[in-house]
Amino acid sequence: MIEFRGVTKQFPDGTVAVAGLDLVIPPRKVTVFVGSSGSGKTTILRMINRMVDPSAGQILIDGVDIATREPVALRRSIGYVMQNSGLLPHRTVVDNIATVPLLRGEKKREARARARELMQVVGLDASLAERYPAQLSGGQQQRVGVARGLAVDPNVLLMDEPFGAVDPLVRAELQTELKRLQSELDKTVVFVTHDIDEAFLLGDQVVLFKPGGVIGQAGTPRELLENPADDFVAGFIDAGRPRSILR
Amino acid sequence: MTWLQENWRQLVDYGLAHVWLSIPPIVIGFLVSLPFGWLANRYRVSRGVLLTLGGILYAIPSLPLFVLLPSLIGTKILDPLNVEVALTIYAFALMLRTTADGLASVDGDVKLSASAIGFGGWRRFVEVELPLAGPVLLAGLRVVSVSTVSLVTIGAVIGVNSLGFFFLDGYQRAFFSPVWFGMAGTLLIALVFDGVLVLLGRLLMPWTRSRRGPRARKYGAAQARVAVTSR
C-alpha cells in the first residue's frame, strides 16, 4: 500500500504542483492517475520513487516513510517505465532488461538469463535479445521497458504515460498485454495517462486530477462513469468520448 | 630518393619519437577534459568561465610557451617535458568545449530514466552519459589527435626531435627533400592515429554502427503494404 499524507509540492519558481494531497493506493491493484497536462499527475508519480521530494507531508510505502530511505536504493526496488521507453540506447535488449539487477549487484550471467525469461513474459521474440533499442519498433521498445521494470520483481511498478508515443493499434495491443500480465503478477501498479479511455480500461481505481494536483474524483471506473462528482469530472470523461461529426 | 636512401634510418627514428611525443598529450588532454567538461555543464557560471579559459589557452602561441615553460614548471630548457606539457595544454583547451557539448548532447529523457531506475550520480556519468557522449567525444578527439601530431613538429625548434627536425634541416640548408619526407611522415602518423581512433570508436560504441532502426521499420512498412495490396 502506498499512502500520501498531506503532500505538497512547491517548485523553486513558486508553482504549486500539489497541495495537501491525501491518497491511498491499494496494493496489488492498478491505480491510474488521469488528468490533463499541468494536473501534477506525473509529479505525484515521481514522488513515489523520490525523483521528486515533497515540500511538505509524508509518503509511506507499506507503512514506511520513504523520506527515511536512501533514494537510489529505493528506486532500485521500484519498477519504472516511461514514455518513449527511456531505454539505454547503448545497451542491447537483454542488457537493458538486466540493468537494475546488475546495479543491485547480481551476477551478470544470472541477470541476463532472467532477462531472457522476461522477454518471453512480455511477448518479445528471443531473436531480439542482442538488438539495440534503435533497431526495434516503438511497441517492441515499450515491451522492453516493461520487462526492465519487472526485472527485480518489484512490488510496485510506476508507469509514466508508457504507451503515449505509440500508434493506437499498438497501444491497444500493449494495454491488453498489460492487463494479462497484471492478472498473473499482481503488482501494485501506478499508471499515469491523459487518456480517459486508457484509464477506464486499465484501472481498478481511477484518480482524476484537476489542475494543481487536486483530486477531482477517485473511485472505480464504474463509479466515475455513473456518478461523476462534479461538472469538471463529467466534462473530462465526456471529452474523451468519441462523437460522430456525421450526425 | 637518394636522400631517402641515406637518411631513412633517421627518418624512422624521428618518426617513432614523433609518435611517442604525440600520444601522452592526446591521452592526458582528453582525460583531463572530462571532469572539466562535466563541471562546465554543471553550473552556468562555470560553463562561461571554463570555455573562455579554454579559448584563451588555445590562443597562446606555441613557440613562446615552449620557451617559457621551463621557468614556470622548473624543467630544463631542452627537456622534452616542456613540449609535452605545452601540447597537453592545447589538447585540453581544444577538447574542453567538445567534451562539454558532448555531455550536454545526451538525451535528457535517457538521463532521467537512468536516475529513475536507480543509477547514482557517479555511475550514471560513467555508464550512461560518457558512452552516449562518445560519438561527439570521438569527433573532438580526432581533431585533437591531428592537431597534436602536427604541433609536435614545432618542438624541433627548441631541440626536441621529431619529424619536425627535417623541416628545420631543410629550411636551414634550403634543401627540400627532408621537408617533403618529414611532411609525408607527419601526415602518415596523423592518418594512422585517426584510423586507430575510428577503429576504437567502432569497438567501444557498437550501437552507433548498425543504425538500421528507422530505415528497417520503413522498409518493413513498405513490405507490409506490398503484402496487403497484392492480396
Q: CA-CA distances (angstroms) from residue B65 to A148, B85, B90?
A: 54, 10, 11
Please state which CATH number belongs to domain B2-229. 1.10.3720.10
pLDDT of residue B210: 63
Cβ–Cβ below 8 Å for B117 and A84 = no
Q: Nearest by CB to A51, which of B116, B206, B217?
A: B116
- SS3 for B122? helix
Residue A67 neighbours by CB distance under 10 Å: 14
How large is the average pLDDT for residues B178-191?
Answer: 95
pLDDT of residue A154: 95
Min mean pLDDT across A61-75, B68-82, B110-124 is at B68-82
- Interface contacts (A, B; CB < 8 Å): 71
Confidence of residue A246 (pLDDT cuts 50, 70, 90): low
Q: Nearest by CB to B118, which of A72, A82, A90?
A: A72
3-state SS of A96-151 is: HHHHHHHHCCCCHHHHHHHHHHHHHHCCCCHHHCCCCHHHCCHHHHHHHHHHHHHC
pLDDT of residue B223: 39
Would you say residue B226 has pLDDT above 50?
Answer: no
pLDDT of residue A242: 62
Cβ–Cβ below 8 Å for B217 and A73 = no
pLDDT of residue A245: 59
Query: A residues 80-99 near B, CB within 8 Å?
Result: 80, 82-84, 86-91, 99
The predicted complex's ipTM stands at 0.89
- Cell numbers placing B1: 630518393
How large is the average pLDDT for residues A113-128?
Answer: 95
Residue B23 neighbours by CB distance under 10 Å: 14
Asked if A85 contacts A144 with a C-beta cutoff of 8 angstroms, the reply is: yes
Confidence of residue B5 (pLDDT cuts 50, 70, 90): confident
Task: Give the separation between CA A73 and CA A63, rounded to whole angstroms.
Answer: 17
Considering only CB atoms, which chain A residues are within 8 Å of B206?
132
Asked if B34 contacts B99 with a C-beta cutoff of 8 angstroms, the reply is: yes
| pLDDT (tens digit per residue) in B7-42 | 889 999 999 999 999 999 999 999 999 999 999 998
Q: Nearest by CB to A135, which of B118, B128, B216?
A: B216
- SS3 for A214? strand
Q: Mutating which of B109, B113, B130, B210 best tests the A interface, going by the most A Cβ atoms within 10 A?
A: B113
Asked if A95 contacts B131 with a C-beta cutoff of 8 angstroms, the reply is: no
pLDDT of residue B213: 43
**End-to-end CA gap in chain A:** 47
The mean predicted confidence, pLDDT, of chain A is 93
Confidence of residue A241 (pLDDT cuts 50, 70, 90): low
Q: Mutating which of B111, B117, B203 best tests the A interface, going by the most A Cβ atoms within 10 A?
A: B117
Would you say residue B175 has pLDDT above 50?
Answer: yes
Would you say residue A66 has pLDDT above 90?
Answer: yes
pLDDT of residue B6: 87
- SS3 for B222? helix
* Neighbouring C-alpha atoms within 13 Å toward the C-beta of A76: 16
Would you say residue B125 has pLDDT above 80?
Answer: yes
Would you say residue A107 has pLDDT above 60?
Answer: yes
User: Which are the contacts of B119, defined by CB distance < 8 A and separation ≥ 6?
Assistant: A72, A103, B127, B128
Task: Give the separation between CA B29 and CA B23, rounded to whole angstroms.
Answer: 10
Task: Give the separation between CA B150 and CA B146, rounded to whole angstroms.
Answer: 6
Q: Does the CB of B213 have a partner CB in chain A at under 8 Å?
A: yes
- Cell numbers placing B149: 601530431
Would you say residue B227 has pLDDT above 60?
Answer: no
Would you say residue A137 has pLDDT above 90?
Answer: yes
* Neighbouring C-alpha atoms within 13 Å toward the C-beta of A83: 12
Confidence of residue A18 (pLDDT cuts 50, 70, 90): very high
Q: Does the CB of B31 have a partner CB in chain A at under 8 Å?
A: no
Q: Determine the angle formed by the axes of helices B80-104 and B62-73, rounding to 10 degrees.
A: 110
Query: B residues 61-80 near A, CB within 8 Å?
Result: none
Residue type, B202: R
Confidence of residue B211 (pLDDT cuts 50, 70, 90): low
Considering only CB atoms, which chain A residues are within 8 Å of B128?
88, 90
pLDDT of residue B215: 42
DSSP 8-state assignment for residue A21: E
Residue type, A237: I
DSSP codes of every residue in B96-164: HHHHHHHHHTS-HHHHHHHHHTT--HHHHIIIIIHHHHHHHHHHHHHHHHHHHHHHGGGGGGGT--STH
**Alpha helix positions (H), B43-79:** 44-59, 62-73
Confidence of residue A127 (pLDDT cuts 50, 70, 90): very high
CA A204 to chain centre: 14
Q: What is the number of residues in chain A?
A: 247
Task: Give the separation between CA A81 and CA A145, rounded to whole angstroms.
Answer: 6
Min mean pLDDT across A161-165, A232-236, A243-247 is at A243-247
pTM, two decimals, is 0.85
Would you say residue A130 has pLDDT above 60?
Answer: yes
CATH architecture of A25-53+69-78+156-241: 3-Layer(aba) Sandwich (3.40)
Q: Nearest by CB to B113, which of A86, A104, A136?
A: A86
Task: Give the separation between CA B132 and CA B157, rounded to whole angstroms.
Answer: 41
Asked if B158 contacts B75 with a C-beta cutoff of 8 angstroms, the reply is: no
Q: Nearest by CB to B213, which of A76, A84, A135?
A: A135
The mean predicted confidence, pLDDT, of chain B is 88
Provide the shortest C-alpha distance from residue A230 to chain B (in Å).
35
